[in-house]
């Protein structure tokens, strides 16, 4: 059984290890400012069998075009293709739906597996930001209309 709980400083090492082997951060040679998002209460970890299976960072309040925004999501390699990402997205969408009818995210143009994942759970590509993070790399904006709960 999985649990999604607020991220704590004790989770940082495991989450940073996940980021180091995950896209887009591996290709972009970047990390996620998890400490900042812990302080803002926007970071969560997914625990499965006592182990950290993934994490997500999102803002449920309407911060972009009347919608919440997913800042980061990653699943540990040992837990991929087990529904962890889908469970974390459902969690974020449910929290966001209490405040907004829309949820947005950006995904790098080279990250085709993430694009496929988001499409499979109902997101539509609605925009493109060329050269935002790196020359030659676009960030695609994805959107989903949420059902109010």
What tens digit of pLDDT does each residue of 100-110 get?
A: 999 999 999 99
pLDDT in tens, 98-139: 999 999 999 999 999 999 999 999 999 999 999 998 899 999
Q: Which fold is adopted by the domain 2-145?
A: Aminopeptidase (3.40.630)
Is residue 133 a contact partner of residue 139, using CB atoms and an 8 Å limit? yes
Angstrom distance (rounded) from CA 83 to CA 62: 27
Q: What do you get for the CA distance between the two ends of the chain, in Å? A: 24
Angstrom distance (rounded) from CA 135 to CA 54: 29
- Spell out the domain ranges in the chain: 2-145
Is residue 52 a contact partner of residue 15, using CB atoms and an 8 Å limit? yes
Angstrom distance (rounded) from CA 46 to CA 85: 9
């Amino acid at each position: 059984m999985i649990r999604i709980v607020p991220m704590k400083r004790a989770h940082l090492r495991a989450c940073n290890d996940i980021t180091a082997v995950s896209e887009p951060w591996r290709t972009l040679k970047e990390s996620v400012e998890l400490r900042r998002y812990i302080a803002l209460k926007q970071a969560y970890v997914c625990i499965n069998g006592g182990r950290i299976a993934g994490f997500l960072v999102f803002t449920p309040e309407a911060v972009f075009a009347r919608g919440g925004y997913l800042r980061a999501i990653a699943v540990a390699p040992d837990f991929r293709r087990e529904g962890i990402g889908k469970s974390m997205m459902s969690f974020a969408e449910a929290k966001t739906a209490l405040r907004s009818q829309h949820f947005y995210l950006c995904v790098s143009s080279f990250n085709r597996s993430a694009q496929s994942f988001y499409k499979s759970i109902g997101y539509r590509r609605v925009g493109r930001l060329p050269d935002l993070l790196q020359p030659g790399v676009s960030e695609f904006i994805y959107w989903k209309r949420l059902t109010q709960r």
